[in-house]
Amino acid sequence: MAGLGAAYALRKRGLDVTVFEASSRPGGRIAVEEVHGFGIDIGANIFLEAFDTVREVAAELGVPLERTRVPIHGGVYRNGKFHGFYGGDHPRDQWKTARTLLSFRLLSPRGLWQLLRFTRMLNARSGELSLEDPSRMLALDDGESAADFVASRIGSEFLDWFFGPNLSGYTFAHPDQVGAAYAMAVLWFFGLKAGWPLRPKGGAGAFVEALARACGPSIRTSTPVRRIVIEDGGVRGVVTEAGLVEADAVICATTATAALRLAPDLPAGIRDALGRVTYSRCCRVFFGLDSSPFPQDWYAVTFPPQTGALMLGMSNSAALAPETVPEGKALIDVLVIGRRAEELSALSHEQAGLRVLAETRKYFPAMTREPLFTRVHRWDEAVCLAPGGMMSALHRMRRQELESVKGLFLAGEYMGVPSVNGALRSGLDAAADCAASLQPDESP
């Protein structure tokens, strides 16, 4: 998303661009796989109304973004059973939600009080939260993890049973791995202020395709860059299998870890800042089924880590995007994160699928029917976690250090607020900086 966004913005300015993409398709962590008539979003699939940059570019590309009226009814597993939650916007649903919170004692009166205090705190600090501009959140990014922040200011019951599972659902990591500023933004925009998610007509892949089309013939897939060549304080170009490709400027739009590998000659200040970036790991297992194993209308179920379940959650993608699944069928997306995802990485795809299927059967007897298909996708670097202090370090690096390497620009979700939107924003920002350096007299 960052690389395509940068190429798109540079081409709009009339610059000559080449995109080197290691994989056989553009899109990176947004990808769609077609299996037996099911369209599986194996990477990012939820766009929000707060994704201003995505909305702006989608409008330019003529890709309509549709509001997805997701039924967010679902269940949380605790004490041997599922407790339904009801997240619709009808007053009846709100009453049901309140009743469940009280009756199944997910939270004690103290925990409910903590929830209330947290909500009030987020409301009060919402002006500091942004999905567009990490620099607005620097006051909150003082080195603390989300877990420490919430435990010290709000309370551990809320942290364990509400904040943690919700945050993990978006970041695929536990709250002690996520920076406080980023966690607050994620919960505010993806949870409390979300409104209805947006979906590009035709799915997330359609947005990538439109963006790639707009980049024209400049994209070279299956062409990994081996090294970014930096000489005498400036970039000379990149090395691919075919040799050195000289360039006036290079925008490196990979993960931070790949950037460190590709440019070993970066000054220490830049390397230190990039070295602070961490990522979550997850394994997603998709099962095509003849019908949903969930109770009627449920979209998802959550297993807080304290339950000991292998997975963090399961959802039925057919509820989010019915047009991607053959009529009446279900596409169950099982999410395994952290250490449990690491355990699965030691297994073959087939073994991992069977292991996850066996686990789901403990909770949903309907899963005993053989799935129509099983697909296993592992992401070793799933979502940038913006650990405490990372945003501040990158902000300083961008302002002070990056200019010391003439012609080099960095883009990627980690340079923005981690999300599809942050990645795209970082690409447009890098393109603007790059264009300004190449055409200093032209306003962007």
Ligand X SMILES: Cc1cc2nc3c(=O)[nH]c(=O)nc-3n(C[C@H](O)[C@H](O)[C@H](O)COP(=O)(O)OP(=O)(O)OC[C@H]3O[C@@H](n4cnc5c(N)ncnc54)[C@H](O)[C@@H]3O)c2cc1C
Distance set, CA 145 to CA 177, 179, 361, 424 (Å): 7, 5, 35, 25
Q: 111 or 237, CB closer to ligand X?
A: 237
Q: Does 224 contact ligand X by CB under 6 A? A: yes
By CB under 6 A, the count of residues binding ligand X is 32
Burial class (CB in 10 A: 0-12, 13-18, 19+), 303: buried
Please identify which residue in 379, 387, 429, 433 interacts with ligand X, judged by CB under 6 A: 379
Q: Which of 170, 174, 181, 102 is nearest to 143 (CA)?
A: 181
Q: Which of 432, 390, 440, 380 is nearest to 411 (CA)?
A: 432
Distance set, CA 288 to CA 249, 300, 336 (Å): 46, 15, 17
- Least distance CB 52 / ligand X (angstroms): 13
**Contact characters 407-426, ligand X, x per CB under 6 A:** -----xx----xxx--x---
Q: Does 372 contact ligand X by CB under 6 A? A: no
Please identify which residue in 212, 262, 352, 405 interacts with ligand X, judged by CB under 6 A: 262
Q: Does 141 contact ligand X by CB under 6 A? A: no
Give the footprint of ligand X on residues 24-83 (CB under 6 A). 28-30, 43-46
- Least distance CB 124 / ligand X (angstroms): 25
Q: 112 or 410, CB closer to ligand X?
A: 410
Instruction: Give the binding range for ligand X (CB under 6 A) out of 67-75, 175-183, 251-259, 430-438.
Output: 251-259
- Least distance CB 379 / ligand X (angstroms): 4
Q: Does 168 contact ligand X by CB under 6 A? A: no
Distance set, CA 411 to CA 19, 140, 233, 384, 427 (Å): 13, 23, 19, 13, 5
Using Cβ positions, the residue closest to ligand X within the complex turns out to be 28
Q: 7 or 435, CB closer to ligand X?
A: 7
Q: Which of 75, 430, 30, 47 is nearest to 201 (CA)?
A: 47
Q: Does 312 contact ligand X by CB under 6 A? A: no
| Contact footprint for ligand X (CB under 6 A) | 1-3, 20-23, 28-30, 43-46, 224-225, 253-255, 258, 262, 282, 284, 379, 382-383, 412-413, 418-420, 423
